[in-house]
């Protein structure tokens, strides 16, 4: 397809000839220029056919997602959710009903429906036919990951068309790509462009790297597919840079290798586990290199190694320069972080280290990092977690994912994982990560007991919550609204 595109462009730039010039004595003759025109038309037809073939093969695996529930407040930030409805896109990645979309699409959703819509591939007046009847499914949220902005859904169906997640992935600058999604609810909208950058890092302080494309991506394309010229998944469309809100040729997609890694983690564990090696790394600057007399003034240096941690056991020292992880060159701190993030669990990490004039290889067995309360939003179940009277999303402490919570004094209670803008506004000092341990002096064991304690309270009644925050108990008084 790429070769056809280049040939088509070249032929289009050739000089043309009028029909009169190609005709002698009223009869059309086959001249070199006329043959060139016919050749150009054939190349364009072949190119169109190639695009048609890819689009028809890929489009059935791209679905529309309809969400109702709660989403991040545009005015008050991600920590506060408000009631919303939305339409976005998703990609079927397994014939048994597993669908990848964006985490921000389903954040706070109380109901998620997946629509498999008809696909019209050709317009013939009076004869246009659709590839399949419309079908709507209720979807189950398997898990989300805010860092990568990915979520996994499941519908109860088998034998679905899907785009496989392949380990043999390659994408090049300038390569032709197609974006398919539901911008503004217009299902199976197809746009074409090129790979503007195969590995763009918009935020140098974050490890996420994206595929940048000039294929038109608009609101509603989130969660849709970006595919290459062979119909392979290149990435999941996620966001755009835009001053006016529409496509300005700066679209970004989560690369397929990241999608594959997160999909496997969410499918198997319901969350994305993270690797740590017990060492702190930082960016090498020219000043740091000059002061420490390093052999290079760029890259990543180890500034600290935790006692008895995996890195120390493997022989890693402070002032070691990490030049590669698993054979992949490391030239920046985000790449260092990203390679550890995408490294398969339960396998040693292979480090290439420069120590003075000596290059060394070492194998570090990583451990699973605690998720941390800042990522508890990934485990919100809007249907079961919301306590309407308080406007909070909470979770039984014993249901929090392993390694999520720090050491707590409370043996029971509920942990706050989010806030809900649509619920009554209470004058309470409650933060994500707080543990509600008691209501009006009555100890609670879980979400059901919290709801039961609040159920009989009327507007104006005094309420005192006993809350554990950072290892200390405190009382939080307010009046019911």
Three-state DSSP state, 437:
strand
Number of Cβ atoms within 10 Å of the Cβ of 29: 9
Bridge partners of 112, per DSSP, are 67
104 annotated active-site:
yes
H/E element, 364: strand 358-364
Distant-in-sequence, close-in-space partners of 375: CB < 8 Å, separation ≥ 6: 146, 147, 404
222 annotated active-site:
yes
149 annotated active-site:
yes
Residue pair 99/143 in contact by the 8 Å Cβ criterion = no
In whole angstroms, what is the distance from residue 304 CA to residue 392 CA?
39
Q: What is the 3-state secondary structure (H, E, C) of 134-154?
A: CEEEECEEEEEECCCCEEEEE
Distances (CA, A) of 356 to 49, 177, 295, 296, 353: 58, 44, 7, 10, 10
The backbone torsions φ and ψ at residue 231, rounded to the nearest 5 degrees and listed phi first, read 85, 10
Q: Considering the candidates 72, 89, 103, 222, report the single residue annotated as catalytic.
A: 222
Locus of tokens 């707080």? 434
The backbone torsions φ and ψ at residue 97, rounded to the nearest 5 degrees and listed phi first, read 100, 15
Distances (CA, A) of 383 to 106, 125, 342: 12, 46, 31
Nearest CA to 231 out of 62, 70, 434, 109 is that of 62
The distance of Cα 72 from the centroid of its chain, to the nearest Å, equals 16
Residues annotated as catalytic (active site), given as ranges = 104, 149, 222
């Amino acid at each position: 397809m790429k070769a056809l595109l280049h040939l088509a462009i070249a032929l289009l730039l050739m000089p043309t000839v009028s029909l009169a010039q190609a005709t002698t004595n009223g009869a059309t003759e086959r001249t070199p220029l006329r043959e060139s025109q016919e050749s150009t038309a054939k190349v364009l037809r072949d190119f169109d056919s190639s695009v048609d073939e890819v689009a028809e093969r890929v489009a059935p695996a791209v679905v529309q997602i309809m969400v109702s529930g709660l989403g991040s407040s545009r005015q008050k930030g991600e920590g506060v959710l408000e009631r919303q409805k939305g339409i976005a896109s998703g990609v079927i990645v397994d014939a048994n009903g597993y669908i990848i979309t964006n985490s921000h699409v389903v954040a706070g959703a109380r109901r998620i429906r997946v629509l498999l819509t008809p696909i019209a591939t050709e317009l013939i007046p009076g004869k246009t036919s659709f590839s399949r009847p419309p079908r709507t499914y209720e979807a189950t949220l398997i898990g989300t990951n805010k860092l990568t902005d990915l979520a996994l859904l499941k519908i109860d169906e088998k034998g679905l068309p899907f785009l496989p997640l392949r380990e043999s992935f390659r994408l090049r600058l300038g390569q032709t790509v197609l974006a398919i999604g539901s911008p503004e609810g217009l299902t199976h909208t197809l746009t074409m462009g090129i790979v503007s950058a195969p590995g763009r890092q918009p935020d140098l302080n974050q490890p996420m790297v994206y595929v940048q494309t000039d294929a038109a991506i608009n609101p509603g394309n989130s969660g849709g597919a970006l595919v290459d010229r062979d119909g392979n998944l290149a990435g999941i469309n996620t966001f755009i840079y835009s001053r006016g809100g529409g496509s300005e040729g700066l679209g970004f997609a989560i690369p397929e290798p990241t999608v594959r890694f997160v999909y496997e983690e969410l499918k198997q564990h319901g969350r994305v586990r993270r690797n740590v090696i017990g060492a702190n790394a930082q960016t090498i600057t020219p000043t740091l290199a000059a002061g420490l007399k390093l052999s290079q003034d760029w890259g990543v240096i180890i500034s600290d190694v935790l006692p008895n941690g995996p890195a120390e056991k493997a022989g890693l020292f402070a002032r070691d320069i990490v030049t590669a992880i698993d054979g992949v060159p490391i030239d920046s701190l985000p790449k260092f972080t990203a390679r550890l993030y995408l490294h398969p669990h339960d396998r040693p990490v292979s480090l290439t280290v420069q120590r003075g004039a000596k290059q060394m290889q070492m194998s570090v067995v990583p451990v699973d990092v605690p998720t941390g309360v800042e990522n508890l939003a990934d485990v919100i179940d809007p249907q079961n977690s919301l306590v309407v009277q308080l406007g909070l999303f909470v979770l039984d402490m014993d249901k929090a994912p392993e390694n999520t919570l720090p050491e707590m004094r409370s043996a029971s209670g509920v942990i706050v994982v989010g806030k809900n803008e649509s619920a009554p506004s209470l004058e309470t000092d409650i933060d994500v990560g707080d543990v509600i341990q008691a209501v009006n002096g009555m100890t609670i064991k879980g979400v059901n007991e919290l709801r039961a304690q609040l159920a009989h309270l009327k507007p104006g009644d005094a309420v005192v919550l006993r809350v554990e925050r950072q290892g200390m108990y405190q009382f939080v008084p307010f009046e019911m609204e």
